[in-house]
Structure 1
Amino acid sequence: MIKKLDEIVKKVKSVSSMKLAVAAAEDSEVLQAVFDAKKEGIVDPVLIGDIEKITEIANYLGESLDEIKLVQADDLIDSAQKAVKLVSGGEADFVMKGLLDTYILLKEVLNKEYGLRTDSLLSHVMLYEVPTYHKLLLLTDGGMNIAPDVNQKEKIIKNALKAAKALEIEKIKVACIAAKEKVSEKMIATIDAKVLSEKDYGENVVVEGPLAFDLAVSSDAAKIKKFESKVSGDVDVMVVPTIEVGNGIGKSLTYMANAKSAGIIMGAKAPVVLVSRADTHESKLYSIALGALIASNK
């Protein structure tokens, strides 16, 4: 079981470098992370975009493009199309967003003709290394689906389980978060959580809900409240009812608990790496490493 983000980097370095297609690669922060990932032996990148601008940035960063494949794109849409086609055609293992809007890339990912569409739902999975928690924590979905219904939540859970399995978690413990642990007709999150907890997710997966945040992360809280649980204090995956809850928990972990993180979009045939300009350089590198790990476990 992988318990630290640095262990992900170490793990992917032990396998063959995964091919990473970077759409609209003419972005200095993204390029620096990609160059560092290449040096770590994590990825073999293909940079798609304005080659002249990519070259200018590489020169500014003092990085060589000699061993890196470059693909010219006419515009941002062309860049996204070419990146996705490389993955769907088997010439790359996963894709990363560069200097273009997320919707442009995801539109191509979902293209029925050449995209990476599956029967699943695209969902955002964040992975946190929190100093006060004893292992890595997966949080979903605080980045894509605003207010998913119960069927969408089931797909969100299944996407997160794929990421959890790549982390070599033998028995995956999932908590469906709500404001309280008792089912209330006035709170749809509690009703959905109860329904989700009764579904079959295969062997070595335990899904509980509804659980308040304290019950999910603290066995002491469960004891005080006399709440019987198989996951309290040892949760691997935290499933939130709405994007606001996930966004709030995630940013609280980052800014108030000094958590390190990595993010990925799941639900397509290959993982999609999206990084924010607000992400640390370390987080960008970890996100690429997480994408490589998941791509190597297809």
Structure 2
Amino acid sequence: MNKILSSKDQGAHYTQNAVEMPGHSASSSHQAFEQLVSRAVQLPGLVPVGIVWPCEQHALEGAMDAAQRGIIEPVLVGDKGVIVSVAQASGIALDKAVIVDVATPAEAAQKATALVRDGRVKALMKGSLHTDLFMHAIVEADSGLRTSRRISHVFVLAVPDYEDLLFVTDAAINIFPDLDVKRDIVQNAIDLHNGLGLGAPRVAVLSAVETVNSKIPGTVDAACLCKMAERGQICGGVLDGPLAMDNAISLEAAKIKKIVSPVAGRAQVLVAPDLESGNMLAKNMIFMSGADSAGIVLGASVPVLLTSRANSVQARLASIAIGALYAHHLASGQS
């Protein structure tokens, strides 16, 4: 079940996605996640990641699993006594972790952002505290991690029978984004795709139809975003839109509708017109198509990982690997 948590910061709501993964057999498309994990293991040096309030088993074991695999240096920010107790009860070794002892979840969130500003950690991961409390510390005007870019969320999905990983955005933070916010949402996703070494993405700006219709505002925004890309206001990807879902991912559908485009039928990033449609799209892929999912928040000064207790072990590990890879990319000054 999903729990919607709201914050007034940036006029956004933060959706904690507690997705119970449906059972499905492994397919070749899911190897993409395994490859991301393998690449994260091969990074030169461990990426220090602040795990904020890892005071329950699910929050602690994901981080320590990634540490045991040689992906991250976990900096556990929380109540030391509780963390040690949970680790002992769950059989989790803490030998690879640094523990920063604080008394409350709110203090943990504030301390974690301070560790980022001090350069001690290069990414943050939510533990067992509420998402709105975690995100409030990140977007706080004076002491948070804001940049000039709007914060947005990307679902990274490995969908059976689809050749590429699919990025779906924004399905968790910005409810009704206007054109300026959509520009940042698109740029965030493009930067992530490039930063993960996946190349310049083919970006489909989705709507219900593939023609501009003044009565459907999403089609007008899609056309504007494509023109913005032509004028260099969006960089690093190839955009097309509006595109309906069928002709964004099906070459046959694009051919039938006579759409000639480098994106149509081969999209790698799907930009939803609003949070509701994006969230339903991502959940349909997870539940109906057996997609594996990972998630990351972009637009802050470091990558932010939102995982939940219901995520599969692979999903948690993939999220951490994506965060580590992108943190390394940002720290190396490549973007």
Q: Is the 2:190–2:200 Cα contact (8 Å) retained in structure 1?
A: no
Q: Counterpart of 1:46? A: 75
1:119 counterpart letter in structure 2: S
Q: 1:250 — aligned with what?
A: 282
In structure 1, the partner of 2:33 is 5
How well do the aligned residues superpose, as a CA RMSD in angstroms?
1.5
Partner of 1:267: 299
Shift of 1:18: 0.4
By how many angstroms is 1:235 displaced?
Answer: 1.0
Report the AA paired with residue 146 of structure 2.
Answer: R
TM-score w.r.t. the length of structure 2 is 0.86
- Residues of 2 paired with 1:114 and 1:128: CA distance? 33
Tell me which residue corresponds to 1:278.
Answer: 310
List per-residue Cα deviations over 1:208-230 (Å, max 9, x = no partner). Answer: 11000001101110111111211
TM-score, length basis structure 1: 0.96
Q: What residue in structure 1 maps to residue 87 of structure 2?
A: 58
Using the alignment, how far apart are the partners of 1:123 and 1:3 within structure 2?
26
SS at match of 2:228: coil
Cα deviation 1:107-164 (Å, max 9, x = unaligned): 2112333321101111000101111200111110001110100110000001111110
Structure 2 counterpart of 1:83: 112
Q: Residues of 1 paired with 2:314 and 2:290: CA distance?
A: 13
Cα shift at 1:31: 0.8
The offset of 1:83, in angstroms, is 1.0
Which of residues 161, 172, 177 is equivalent to 1:148? 177
Which position in structure 1 is the counterpart of 2:129?
A: 100
Consecutive unaligned residues in structure 2, runs of 5 or more: 1-29, 331-335
Matched, 1:21 2:46: no
Is the alpha carbon distance of 1:160 and 1:3 closer, same or farther for their aligned partners in structure 2, counting shifts above 3 Å? farther
Cross-structure match for 2:264: 232
Matched position secondary structure for 1:170: coil
Mark the CA change 1:203 to 1:121 in structure 2 (over 3 Å): closer, same or farther: closer
Q: 1:295 aligns with which of 327, 331, 335?
A: 327
The equivalent position to 2:168 in structure 1, one of 139, 144, 149, is 139
- Counterpart of 2:22 in structure 1 is none
2:10 aligned partner: none
**Helix, strand or coil for the counterpart of 2:150?**
coil
Measured in 2, the distance between the counterparts of 1:40 and 1:109 equals 28
Tell me, in whole angstroms, the C-alpha distance in 1 between the residues paired with 2:327 and 2:56: 23
List 4+ stretches of structure 1 deviating above 2 A. 111-115, 200-204
Q: In structure 1, what is the Cα distance between the partners aligned to 2:96 and 2:321?
A: 20
User: Structure 2 CA distance, aligned partners of 1:112 and 1:149?
Assistant: 21
1:220 paired residue among 252, 277, 288: 252
Cα distance change of structure 1 residues 75 and 204 upon mapping to structure 2, 3 Å threshold:
closer
Is 1:188 the equivalent of 2:220?
no
Equivalent residues of 2:190, 2:236 under 8 A apart: no
Q: Percent identity?
A: 36
